[in-house]
Amino acid sequence: MNDEARQLVEKYLQLVGDEHRPVAERVVRCRDAPWYFREKLIGAPSHDARKDHARVLKYAYNFLLNGAAVAFIREQKNRQTPDLMIDGLVEQARFFVEVKKFRLVGSSSSHPASKIVSTVEGKRGQLPDNELGLVAIDNFDIELESDGEAMTHDPIEQALAELERLASENRSGWKKPNGVIIAASTSGGIGVSIPHFVWLNKQAEPPLPTELAEWIRGLF
């Protein structure tokens, strides 16, 4: 770790707490991670924005721990970009990941399953065309879980079934994403094991290599 990266980690930890040190010190070594720490974490306009951006670190860290090379994607003017590029697992099978913090509050949809589907439909546009890509939906709205029945696993399963139906009935319109990863609760964070649901899109183009698909399923 060079001096710049070390200074960025220390500034970030002053804001979030030293318990995040193992993740921060590992992830900051990724390509363009210093930019992400400086602009998205340290320079975040609010505590909530910083928490949102920190969700990306969780995925970067998990991929790193499982043998992948990770790079952060710099934003570009007038062009939507994903958060991460993952490489080094299967020959010529790099893939991109867009991480979205899930909220129901303020949504036009009052049903969690519908909101999940609309979130995937919106965020897949940030994945590059003709590349492998995943949408990761993370950190469900705490109000959903505290509502008793609102945020059980049933809405997630309903959402994944609806994504499968949409992709099967409109293959040309669902060439991306290659898959969706959904964290099943708000309680999990960096360094905490929580359940995830994984849906892989059989209609995607290019298709996800079998070896990579198995790796993703095993990871989550």
pLDDT tens for 5-42 read 999 999 999 999 999 999 999 999 999 999 999 999 99
pLDDT tens for 167-211 read 999 999 999 999 999 987 654 444 445 678 999 999 999 999 999
Give, to the nearest 10 degrees, the angle between helix 112-123 and helix 153-169.
Answer: 50
**Alpha carbons 172 and 160: distance in angstroms, whole number:** 19
Identify which has the larger pLDDT, 82 or 108: 82
**Alpha carbons 149 and 95: distance in angstroms, whole number:** 35
Question: Taking the model in full, what pTM does it have?
Answer: 0.88
Give me the sign of the Cα torsion angle 177, 191, 219, 155.
negative
Q: Using 50, 70 and 90 to split pLDDT, how confident is the model at 88?
A: confident
